[in-house]
Amino acid sequence: MPHLAELFGQLANGVILGLILALVASGFTMVLSVMGIINFAHGLLFALGAYLALTLLKIVGYWPALIIAPLIVGALGILLEQTFIRRLYGKDPLFVLLLTFGIAMMGEDVIQMIWGKLAYSIAAPDLAKGSVDLGFMIYSKYRLFMGGFALVAIFSVWLFLAKTPYGAMIRAGSHDSEMVGILGKNLPRIRALVFGLAAVMAALAGIIAAPLWSVRPQMGLDALLPAFLIVVIGGMGSFWGSVLGGLLVGVTNSIAVMFVPRFSDLIMYVLAAVVLLYRPRGLLGTRSVLE
């Protein structure tokens, strides 16, 4: 039986992993429900966030990199939507998935060309080095910082969605694709905005995760597949569903690491399969046009 402190530690790790994944998944599901497309390049944006931060922090330091890298990735996301994806609106969604498949492959190769195949690690910022005694356990300061940062990011996105006019339009689109039609001339702007916002969220998650995961070309897929399953678990188009799904996946994964380390990656698939069988719309999902 693992020690209790170890269990607490792993639980905390799970929550933090869950928050990072929630950040990736909520952007992914926002694009999915507003635009009706699966963006397979979403993982690439996550990886790009980490790699750009890697390069930028050598030039401008950690904190500026934390702001600049997501903005660059957000701009790239908008560029992607404007140049490629918008050509395929109204066509079979199969094509967008294949297109983003292609972009993800090219992108991974471009990352290899620029940064090489090897894995890097990013050092934690000075402020968050070392660990802190919480009374019942000793825990890494950086992980605490990451969890806090992810929480702030998630709440900012929620505030944006819930309290701003643009957010209201995005939410309307998430519930009913016909509503997006009513948005009329605002539609192109909304789409670009959604894509850009999702890219920023993915990049932020990538940067936060960088010091823990190694930064390597395939890291995009490591985040994207859990994001798929989180959407299935939480319910498509549901923001809080993504957060709940992310936390569930994160925590079960961390606990599984203690007991069945070899197959810990598989736990989230089992979780998603069970949810699909007993709650086909996901834990917080509503009836959707995409069923």
Partner 1 sequence: MSPNPLPFPARQRPAVSFALLVVFFAVLPVLLSALNISLSLGTEILIIALFAVSYNIVLGTTGLASFGHAAFFGSGAYAVGIAQQYGVSGAAVSLVLAFAAGLIAAVLVGALVMKKRGIYFGLLTLAFGQMFYIVALRWDDVTGGETGLTGLQRPTPFGLNLSDHTTFYYFILTIFMAALWVIWRITNSPFGSLLAAIKSNEVRTQYLGYDTARYKLAAMAISGAFSGLAGGLYAWFQYAAYPQNLFWIESGNIVILTLLGGGLSSFFGPILGAAVFVGAQDLISTYTERWMFFFGLIFILVVTAFPNGLPEAMSRLLSAFRRIFRPAAAPSSASAAPIRRTTP
Asked if 119 touches partner 1 (CB under 8 A), the answer is: no
Asked if 75 touches partner 1 (CB under 8 A), the answer is: no
CA distance 241 to 69: 27
Asked if 285 touches partner 1 (CB under 8 A), the answer is: no
Nearer to partner 1, 61 or 102 (CB): 102
Tokens encoding 103: 């972009």
Least distance (Å) between residue 63 CB and partner 1: 34
**Rounded (10°) CA dihedral 220, 225, 230, 233:** 180
- Identify residue 223 by its one-letter amino acid code: A
Interface residue with partner 1 among 16, 19, 25, 38 (CB under 8 A) is 38
Task: Show the binding pattern over residues 169-208: x = contacts partner 1 (CB under 8 A), - = does not.
Answer: ----------------------------------------
Residues 141-170 interacting with partner 1 (rule: CB under 8 A):
none
Tokens encoding 15: 């929550």
How far the first Cα of the chain sits from its last, in Å, is: 43
User: What ranges in the chain are assigned the alpha helix state H?
Assistant: 4-35, 42-60, 62-83, 93-115, 141-163, 165-175, 177-183, 187-209, 219-234, 239-259, 267-278
Query: Which residues lie below 8 Å from residue 142, measured CB to CB, with a gap of 6+?
Result: 124, 125, 128, 129, 211
Q: Which stretch binds partner 1 (CB under 8 A): 3-11, 57-65, 170-178, 273-281?
A: 273-281
Asked if 98 touches partner 1 (CB under 8 A), the answer is: yes
Nearer to partner 1, 17 or 204 (CB): 17
Q: Which stretch binds partner 1 (CB under 8 A): 54-62, 65-73, 198-206, 267-275?
A: 267-275
Q: How many CB atoms lie within 10 A of CB 280?
A: 11
Q: Which stretch binds partner 1 (CB under 8 A): 51-59, 90-98, 143-151, 169-177?
A: 90-98
User: If we measure between CA atoms, which residue out of 170, 122, 127 comes closest to residue 149?
Assistant: 127
Asked if 283 touches partner 1 (CB under 8 A), the answer is: no
Tokens encoding 291: 């069923």
Interface residue with partner 1 among 3, 58, 113, 126 (CB under 8 A) is 113
Instruction: Give contact residues for partner 1 (rule: CB under 8 A).
Output: 32, 36-38, 84, 87-88, 91-95, 97-99, 101-110, 112-113, 221, 225, 228-229, 231-232, 236, 262-263, 265-266, 269, 272-273, 276-277, 280, 288, 290-291
